[in-house]
Amino acid sequence: MVVETSAAAPASSSAHGIDVAVYDADASATARDQGGTLDMHPDTGQRALRAGGLWPGFTALARPEGEQMRLVARDGRVLFDAAPPQNDQGNPEIDRGQHRDLLLGSLAPGTVRWGHKLERAEPLGDGRHRLHFAHGLSAGTDLVVGADGAWSRVRRMLTDAVPIHTGVTFVETGLNDADTRHPSLAALTGNGTMMALDNNLGFVAQRNSGGHIRVYVGMRTPPQDWHRQAGVDLTDPVAVRDALLHRFADWSPALRGFITDTDTGYTNRPLFALPVPHTWEPIPGVTLLGDAAHLMSPFSGMGANLVMRDGADLAQALTEHATADGAVTAYEKILIPRSVEAAEGAAEGIDGAFAPDSAEQALAHMTAHMTAHMTAH
């Protein structure tokens, strides 16, 4: 996704006299699955939702019970179980697809231009650029905001940094109608997120709406192509299942059920992150937000919250400064230090979760992490 702001962008959303167009590589809003669940924190995601007038819509969809976090030993024993806070001051969960639909629904018709995959941005001088898209169309802009994810093309205009493999790979699978079809696994998961982590391996199971549980089978696997190393064809679900069962051979049958009882098959998801710290020198007419600026492991719990706060802070800066460059300068002074701090925490989080330590050390680390998560308001 590339966001363009301009003094004259036709058929775009305009607020505070600023015209905006969003160019998205997806063919439509329903072109692909948006992933699992996320939580919104008070000072980041929730603050942005309130600023955009979206808080009532969010609360209608959110699942406060989804804040439950459970830690399970490799033998299936529940070691830690934190219920959601009862004071409406927590971090309620929402499906990513529902969250995206909420954001899209707040935009004026025509703001998002689907099927626009950016190939390059051509500098025109004075901070202006012409965006060239894969289908041959182009557009001029006063400010390019790269919100185009992990492999951002806009980021290349600012920095040579590229994402690197964290050393951990997830294999995603899932359970449909879990309470009816998979009652034991549903009970083990609880209402929120269940983690079982030990000796560089682990399971993460997340409740989604509609009775679905999304499961991530995690492994520390340098190099990232673990399946080639193991001689596994990722298009062969039986081979993937058997390889995963081999890795988790001495784990509880209750947990191994997350591998064998899949309703969705297996999707390989190596985890990448940008180097820490990731900074850049300003260039007129260009900035970044979200994963394009601060891709990090999901063990920060901050990725979606940061992109929300990024967008809110940039929007506020654009309304408060006479020029786009002034707005971007002010925004990046907030964005970059905040991103670096969160990325450092994310790197520590994934290293602690997938570690060669004893189970007790890994569990102690994650218990502290979960406690901090549940009490941070």
* CATH fold of 2-65+93-162+275-352: FAD/NAD(P)-binding domain (3.50.50)
Sequence ranges of the chain with CATH classification 3.30.9.30: 164-273
Q: What share of the chain is helix, strand, coil (3-state, %, to 5)?
A: 35, 25, 35
Give the pLDDT confidence score for residue 71 in this predicted structure. 92
> What per-residue confidence (pLDDT) applies to 301?
73
Report, as an integer, the average pLDDT of 24-32. 92
- What is the mean predicted confidence (pLDDT) over 166-182? 97
| pLDDT tens-digit series, residues 238-258 | 999 999 999 999 999 999 999
Q: Which residues pair with 112 in a beta bridge?
A: 22
**Side chain identity at 24, as an amino acid letter?**
D
- DSSP classification of residue 41: -
Let me know: does 269 contact 216? Beta carbons within 8 Å: yes
Q: What's the mean pLDDT in 359-368? A: 61
C-alpha atoms less than 13 angstroms from C-alpha of 206 in its C-beta half-sphere: 21
pLDDT for position 366: 58
Mean pLDDT (the chain) is: 90
pLDDT at 213: 98
Cα three-residue angle 138-104-37, rounded to 5 degrees = 120
Q: Is 162 exposed, middle or buried, given 0-12, 13-18 or 19+ CB atoms closer than 10 A? A: middle
pLDDT confidence band for 360 (50 / 70 / 90): low
Domain 164-273 bears CATH identifier 3.30.1370.100? no
Burial of 132 (C-beta count, 10 Å sphere; 0-12/13-18/19+):
middle
What confidence category does residue 359 fall into, taking pLDDT thresholds of 50, 70 and 90? low
pLDDT of residue 16: 67
Report the pLDDT value the prediction gives residue 9, as an integer from 0 to 100: 37
Q: What is the mean pLDDT of residues 332-350?
A: 94
Asked if residue 376 has pLDDT above 90, the reply is no
pLDDT at 286 over 90: yes
Q: Which of 9-23, 32-46, 83-97 has the highest mean pLDDT?
A: 32-46
Domain with CATH 3.50.50.60 in the chain: 2-65+93-162+275-352
Mean pLDDT for 56-64 is: 95
What's the pTM? 0.90
**pLDDT tier for residue 131 given thresholds of 50, 70 and 90:** very high
